[in-house]
Structure 1
Amino acid sequence: MQPSSIREAIADAARAVVLPDGIGKLTATGYVPDAVVAPHFFCGEYSVDFDKAMNRSLDEVELTCRVLVGRADDKSAQVTLDNLLSGAGPASLKSAIEAARGAPGDYALGGLAHDLHVTRMQGYRWYEHQGTQYVGAELIIKIIGEGD
């Protein structure tokens, strides 16, 4: 699995969320950006457990992603973040990302990985990014696929 391709495919999948009227569109990048246009999703830390099966046939990736929401006011920012972090629904990042798993029997992320699963949300708090405060959280995604 190629990290850059995996990260870009995850960001592409995240862009499929539909936020409530008046909030705007989620922006997303497969890398940690210098600056964000909120609400923004990005792929951050990337760790790999190599050789989970013999002959480089399986690697396991844990990808930590962040979503940041501007704080026009405290409550509305957190309501927007809650929508993005929900387990289901049109604004759910989990649903949008897991839709990239493809149909049963297909490879995930358009053939880039065997499978993926959003396993956890953590770190719901205020984040500072390039000197600006955002409310945000992290999503942990487990991805499995062939080693390169």
Structure 2
Amino acid sequence: MQMAAIRDAIADAARAVVLPEGMPKLTCTGYVPDSVVAPHFFCGEYTVDFDKAMRRSLDEVELTCRVLVGRADDKSAQVILDAMLSGSGPGSLKQAIEQARGAPGESALGGLADDFHVMRVQGYRWYEHQGTQFVGAELAIKIIGEGA
């Protein structure tokens, strides 16, 4: 699997999130940016378990993504974040990202992986990024694909 291309494809899928009227559009990157324009989604660190099947036929990746929301005020930022972390709805990152899984029997992310799944939300807290405070959370995504 080519992780740079996978990370970019996941960021592209996240762009489909629809935020409440009056909110800036969600910005997304497939890499950890130097600075962010909130609200921002990015793909961060990942772990790879090689050789889950013989002859390099399957690797398993756990990718940690983050979403950061500006803090105009504590409550409104968390309401927006909660909408993005919900399991469904127009503001759901899980729903937007999993649209890139493709139809049953098709490869995910335009052929970059066999399949993937947004597994969980974790780390709901205040984050500091380049000296600025944001409320945010992490999304853990499991990705499987050919290792060769």
Task: Give the TM-score of the pair, scaled to structure 1.
Answer: 0.99
Query: Partner of 2:65: helix, strand, or coil?
Result: strand
Cα distance in 2 for residues equivalent to 1:145 and 1:25: 31
Cα distance in 2 for residues equivalent to 1:92 and 1:116: 16
Query: Partner of 1:110: helix, strand, or coil?
Result: helix
Query: Partner of 1:65: helix, strand, or coil?
Result: strand
Which structure 2 segments of 5+ residues have no match?
Answer: none
Which residue number in structure 2 is paired with residue 124 of structure 1?
Answer: 124
Query: Partner of 2:123: helix, strand, or coil?
Result: strand
Cα distance in 2 for residues equivalent to 1:124 and 1:45: 17
Greater shift, 129-138 or 15-24, is seen at 15-24
Paired residues for 1:1-148 under 5 Å = 1-148=1-148
Cα RMSD (Å) of the superposition?
0.5
Which structure 1 segments of 5+ residues have no match?
Answer: none
State the number of aligned residues. 148
Provide runs of 4+ in structure 1 moved above 3 Å: none
Shift of 1:24: 1.5
Query: Partner of 1:11: helix, strand, or coil?
Result: helix
Shift of 1:46: 1.1
Per-residue Cα deviation, 1:18-40 (whole angstroms, up to 9, x for no partner): 11101111000000000000000
AA in 2 matched with 1:48: V
